[in-house]
Amino acid sequence: GAGVSQSPRYKVAKRGQDVALRCDPISGHVSLFWYQQALGQGPEFLTYFQNEAQLDKSGLPSDRFFAERPEGSVSTLKIQRTQQEDSAVYLCASSFSRGPGQNYGYTFGSGTRLTVV
């Protein structure tokens, strides 16, 4: 597609419920990122994929958070046993950058707003 597509746009989950958030990046973009944006804050890095390889997951806040990109295109961010503090907008971004000196920035999706009640 022309842009980064995320679904669902909005998700309300009961505390303790598992959720799965989907990201469909721009075709051909090898790098895919997940960010978490709390209200009034900037996006905070969660994890990064280069093709299907998860090269950096240093930002995942707990082992309840899990991300995958099995075929190097679509990615899913899963949150198990959701807590109220997980309420945020989850942004996915993709990038064409392939190496040092090739910095093209990110294209973001519109995000999924997760509310845990």
Partner 1 sequence: DQQVKQNSPSLSVQEGRISILNCDYTNSMFDYFLWYKKYPAEGPTFLISISSIKDKNEDGRFTVFLNKSAKHLSLHIVPSQPGDSAVYFCAASAYTSGTYKYIFGTGTRLKVLA
In this structure, what DSSP letter does residue 80 have?
S
Using CB under 8 A as the binding rule, the residues of this chain from 51 to 80 that contact partner 1 are: 55-56
Interatomic CA distance for residues 72 and 31, integer angstroms = 9
Interatomic CA distance for residues 116 and 15, integer angstroms = 6
87 near partner 1, judged by CB under 8 A: no
14 vs 28 by CB, closer to partner 1: 28
Instruction: Assign 3-class secondary structure to 99-117.
Output: CCCCCCCCEECCCEEEEEC
73 vs 111 by CB, closer to partner 1: 111
Residues that bind partner 1 (CB under 8 A): 4, 6, 31, 33, 35, 40-45, 48, 50, 55-56, 91, 93, 95, 97, 99-100, 103, 105-111
